[in-house]
Structure 1
C-alpha cells in the first residue's frame, strides 16, 4: 500500500461525495445525481441508499420514493446498457451525446432478438401513444400492448425494445404504482430539459466525471461513459483549466483543480451498495479501493465472493455485507476481510444504525471473519 495510492484514494472518496470534499452538503437527490451526471441504478432500492448516504439529515427510503415519483430524479438507460438515475436538467443532453454509443453496444442484442429498425420504430411509436397523456404503463402492460399488435415482447426481447425507446428520448421512468415501475412520455415528464451542442456536451460530461470521480483516468471514463478515446481527448482539450492532471507511476489521473480535502475522521465505515459509484465508476484504477490486496486475497477463499454490498473502512474495501429482515428488525450480516479494532467496530455499528434510520427500522449487525 503506497502513500501515493492512499493520497489518490482519500481525494477520490471526497470527490464521490463520501468524504466531505465538497464545500457544502448536497441539498437534495437531484443535486446528488447531478453531481455525477448519472448515477448507476441497476437495482432501484440499493441505488436509493447510495443517494441517501450523500445527503445530510436522516433522509429515508420513503423520502426518495417520493422524490422519484415527483420526477426530482429519473431512471433510464444512458451511458451504458444499464439503468442510471439522472437529474431532469441533464437528461436530454446526456442521451443525445451517449445514445448512439449505447445503441452500438446493443447491436448484438438487437440482432439476437431479431429487432430490426422498422420493428423497433413501430414498437416505440406504439409505446409512445400508449403512455401519452399521463397514461403511465408498467412493463407488463406494455408487453400486452405490443402483443396485441402482433409484436412478440417478453423477457430479453421486451427489455431491449424498452431500452431502444428510452435511448430515442421517447420514454423514461414514471412514478411507482405500488411496487411496480412505470414508463412515462419523456416530453411530459421533463418538458423543459436542456439540450447542448455536441462539443459543449462532451466538455460537460468529461468535466462532470473527473470532478465527481477524480482522480481517475481516461480509461476509467471511457468505460463509464462509453465515449471514444477521441471524444474524451477532445473533451479534455476543450475543458482547459477546469481540470488538472497528475502522473503517478506512469499513469495520468485527472481531477478538479484545487487542494486535496482534509480526510474524514478515521475510522469511517461505510456500507456501500455493490453498484455505488465509488465501486463501479472505475476500470483501470479500481485497484485504489484495495491497495493492500485484502479483498482479492479474501475472495479466493470466500465462496460468496459476489456481495450484496461492500464494506469500506476510510477508503479501502474491508468486507462485504447484506441485509435481511427478521422479527421487525433489519439485520446486517457483515463478513470482514480482517479483524476490526474497537473503534472500527463502533463505526460499523454507527453505519448500521444509519441504514436503519434510512429504512425506518431497528438495525443490528452480525459480524464474522471470512
Structure 2
C-alpha cells in the first residue's frame, strides 16, 4: 500500500519559509550566525545584504557587517549560480568546493569560453595565481596582464576566466557600508588563509532545506545552480510532503512548519533577496501576476505584506512605496511605521509615501 504524503498549503509553505528566513520576527542571532544559517546572502548589489540583515536581525547596524568584511570574517565571492554571494570565511571553505565545478561549467557555457581554446590550463592557472600573489587586481587589470602572456587573446575574456576558474573573492572597500570601490580580486587562500577541499554535497542540501524548505528538487537546483540532484536528495533521510499541486517536497525532519495563520509582519527586502531567488516555484512568496512585473529578474527592492510581495520601494527624498493592491488601514499604518524605521536605519531624511 502506498503511503499518502501529508499536504502543505501555499500559506503553510509561505510561513515556513518566512520563519526559516528569519522574517516572521527579528532574530537575536549574530551576523555571522545569520549569514551561515541562510547559507550565504545574494550580494551582487553590494549594499543589499545590509537591508536583508536589517529586516532579519534585532538591533542590526551597518558597522556590524562592514567591520566583518574589513576583517575578513565574511567575504563576497562568486558562488551560488555563479553570482556574488556574501558568506562567512568559514562557510566559504565549505560552500566553494561544492560549487567549484558549477563555476567551471558556467564559464564553459559563457560568451568568454573560446578564449581558453588551445591554452595550457595549468600554465594559465599558475600565471593568474602569480599575478594575484603580487597584489589584488581588478578583472580588467588581470585581463591586460594575461593578454601580455597570450597575445591575440581577448583581454576581457581572460579576466573573466580567472574569476570563474580560480577560488577568488572580492575585497573591501567594495561592499562596505558608506564606502565604494572597484571590484578588486584576490585568491581565497590569500585573503582568508585557506581554500576548502571537502565537497559535502548532502550537507549543503540539508542546510538549504533548513533555511528554505520544504522544497522540490528543482527548487534546490535553481537556488544553487547545481544539476542532477534527484538521486542525491532521494538518498537522504528527509521528511517528504506534497504541495497542493501534488509536487513532492523534501525537508529536514525537524524543520519548523508554523501555523499557516501565523501573522506575518511587513518587511522591506532588498533587490535579489534570498527569499525571491530560493525556489523554482516562487508562488510561495510572490504571485505569478506580480512575478510578471519583472521585479525579481529586474532587481527591484520589494515590500512584503502578509508574507507575500505586495509592492516595491526606493529612496527618493524619503521613501517611495508603490503597492500593487490597496492596503487595509492596519496594513497601511504598519507599512508607514516600518518604512520610518527603514529611513532611520539608512540615515535618509524624508517621509514615507505610499502610491498605487
Superposition TM-score, scaled by structure 1 size: 0.80
What does 1:166-181 align with in structure 2 at a 5 Å threshold?
Answer: 168-169=166-167, 171-176=168-173, 179-180=180-181, 181=183
Q: CA deviation at 1:37?
A: 2.0
* Cα distance in 1, alignment partners of residues 246 and 79 from structure 2: 32
- Aligned length in residues: 342
Tell me the CA shift for residue 175 of structure 1: 2.3
What does residue 275 of structure 1 align with?
A: 272
Decide which moves more: 208-217 or 107-116: 107-116
Cα distance change of structure 1 residues 109 and 347 upon mapping to structure 2, 3 Å threshold: same
Partner of 2:106: 105
In the TM superposition, residue 251 of structure 1 has moved relative to its aligned partner by: 0.8
CA contact (8 A) 1:38 1:85 kept: yes
User: Residue 75 of structure 1: SS of its match in structure 2?
Assistant: strand
- Aligned residue among 268, 282, 287 for 1:286: 282
**RMSD between aligned alpha carbons?**
3.1
Partner of 2:344: 357
Task: Report the 3-state secondary structure (helix = DSSP H, G, I; strand = E; otherwise coil) of the residue aligned with 2:240.
Answer: strand
Listed as ranges, the gaps of 5+ residues in structure 1 are: none
Q: Counting helix residues as a fraction of each chain, which structure ranks higher?
A: 1
SS in structure 1 opposite 2:268?
strand
Higher mean alpha-carbon deviation, 106-115 vs 211-220, is at 106-115
2:48 maps to which of 40, 46, 68:
46
For residues 359 and 130 of structure 1, do their structure 2 counterparts lie closer, same or farther at Cα, with a shift above 3 Å needed?
farther
**Local SS of the residue matching 1:80:** helix
How far did residue 115 of structure 1 move? 2.9
| TM-score computed with the length of structure 2 as normaliser | 0.83
1:102-251 equivalence runs, <5 A: 102-109=103-110, 113-116=114-117, 118=119, 121-132=122-133, 135-149=135-149, 155=156, 157=157, 160-165=160-165, 168-169=166-167, 171-176=168-173, 179-180=180-181, 181-192=183-194, 194-196=196-198, 198=199, 201-229=200-228, 231-238=229-236, 240=237, 243-248=238-243, 249-251=245-247
Distance in 1 between the 2:82 and 2:338 partners? 32
Question: Residue 257 in 1 paired to residue 257 in 2?
Answer: no
Match of 2:4 in 1: none
Closer, same or farther: CA 65–148 of 1 in aligned 2, 3 Å: farther
Q: Kindly tell me: are residues 182 and 288 of structure 1, through their superposed partners in 2, closer, same or farther at Cα, counting changes over 3 Å?
A: same
1:95-123: CA deviation from partner (whole Å, max 9, x where unpaired): 22222123223213265552337366555
Could you say if the C-alpha distance between residues 68 and 278 of structure 1 is closer, same or farther in structure 2, counting changes exceeding 3 Å?
same
Residues 121/50 of structure 1: CA separation in 2 closer, same or farther (3 Å cut) = farther
Match of 1:347 among 325, 334, 355: 334
Q: Distance in 2 between matches of 1:336 and 1:140?
A: 41
Partner residue of 1:11 out of 9, 13, 16: 16
The answer to whether the Cα contact below 8 Å between 2:303 and 2:312 also exists between their aligned partners in 1 is yes
Using the TM superposition, give the Cα deviation of residue 226 of structure 1 relative to its aligned residue in structure 2, in angstroms.
2.5
Once the two structures are TM-superposed, the CA of residue 6 in structure 1 deviates from its matched residue by 0.8
Structure 2 unaligned residues grouped into runs of 5+: 1-6
Contact 1:137–1:182 under 8 Å retained in 2 = yes
